[in-house]
């Protein structure tokens, strides 16, 4: 039985397909903006990279959860 991916990581395949870059690329951009706040990071991805809100939020949430 295959474990179903849940939470922010469930968006990763569609993010990679839509924006053409691996998740590690997007997480690197987010880490480069730390210690910005969550919504500031989401807005950065939306404004600078034309990312949708749900995708941007998933990347930021997963990156910040790593610590």
The pLDDT-based confidence of 1 (bands split at 50, 70, 90) is low
Angstrom distance (rounded) from CA 40 to CA 21 = 21
Torsion (CA) 18, 48, 25, 27 in degrees, nearest 10: -110
Residue 62 pLDDT exceeds 90: yes
pLDDT computed for residue 67 by the predictor: 79
Residue 32 pLDDT exceeds 70: yes
Return the higher-pLDDT residue of 52 and 7.
52
Cα angle, residue 21 at apex, residues 64 and 28 outer, rounded to 5°: 35
Tokens of 60: 């930021």
The domains of the chain are located at 7-65
Angstrom distance (rounded) from CA 42 to CA 38 = 6
The pLDDT-based confidence of 4 (bands split at 50, 70, 90) is confident
């Amino acid at each position: 039985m295959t474990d179903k991916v849940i939470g922010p990581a469930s968006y990763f395949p569609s993010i990679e397909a839509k924006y053409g870059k691996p998740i590690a690329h997007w997480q690197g951009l987010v880490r480069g903006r730390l210690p910005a706040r969550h919504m500031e990071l989401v807005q950065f991805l939306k404004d600078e990279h034309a990312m949708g809100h749900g995708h941007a939020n998933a990347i930021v949430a997963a990156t910040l959860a790593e610590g």
